[in-house]
Amino acid sequence: MKSDFRKKPRNMDNGQDRIASHPLADLGWLFRFANESLAQDFHFSVQKAAFPWVRDLVPAYKTVAVFHNPALIAMGKALETLQTLKHGKTKKPNPFQGKEIIVPCCYQLGPDLDLVAEKTLLTTKEVIQLHSETIYLVYAIGFTPGFPYLGYLPEKLQGVPRLATPRVKVEAGSVGMTGVQTGIYPEEKPGGWNLVGCTPMRLVDLEKGFFAFQTGDRVKFEPITLREFRTLEKKTP
């Protein structure tokens, strides 16, 4: 099915805030919102509507991608239907209020911990305290399956740039941070984030379809010693 929609964003206004919508080829629409809260409300509204033609919903920060089944609905009709949704503030539980997950983190295994302390004009102890006392929200999953983008870092830890030269290999479980975000590498990958710790948790099992994090989960890091890390590592399947 060919789409005659141009790349120029369309605006939808339901009496709330104006929302820009962008076609995703012939597969669906990407909606951009003024803030995360509006995106969360829209995500909830689409889930609640339970349209049979919606194949997938992908919320990420201030956007929500809605993918549809072209055999069940035309692209223009899908947009028209989504535009009619009332997505103001709701008293019902928001899908972004997911599981509460405690992530054990050994900050002794963070090769860039001293660098982050230097960049933020803090001690390593202060970096650990600030990073571990914050409750983060999983705003998105990517760039590799199961990688959680967690926001937001406390203000004193924000603004640390990516490494000038990315690492060729970052070990699975490495806890990184850059800009206003922190995250966890679920598998060995190249990467340019500043590594401040490591968790023995297993984040992904593709064969079993297991993913530790989903968008909307709340995450808190719990400092552990190197000895505790080794013990937990042995128990991790």
Confidence (pTM): 0.78
> What pLDDT digit, counting tens, does each position of 48-95 carry?
899 999 999 888 888 999 999 999 999 999 999 998 886 555 444 454
| pLDDT at residue 7, as a whole number | 35
The CA-atom distances, in angstroms, between 78 and each of 110, 116, 121, 140 are: 47, 46, 51, 24
Amino acid letter, 84: T
Flag whether 35 is in a domain. Answer: yes
Contact 183, 229 (CB under 8 A): no
Select from 51, 83, 115 the last residue of a domain: 83
CATH code at position 104: 2.40.100.10
Which domain does 106 fall in, by range? 100-235
pLDDT of amino acid 47: 87
Bigger pLDDT: 234 vs 96: 234
Is pLDDT larger for residue 18 or for residue 117? 117
Q: Same domain, yes or no, for 31 and 132?
A: no
Given CA atoms 184, 130, 37, 94 in this order, what sign does their dihedral have?
Answer: positive
Pair (120, 43) in one structural domain = no
Same domain, residue pair 45 and 113: no
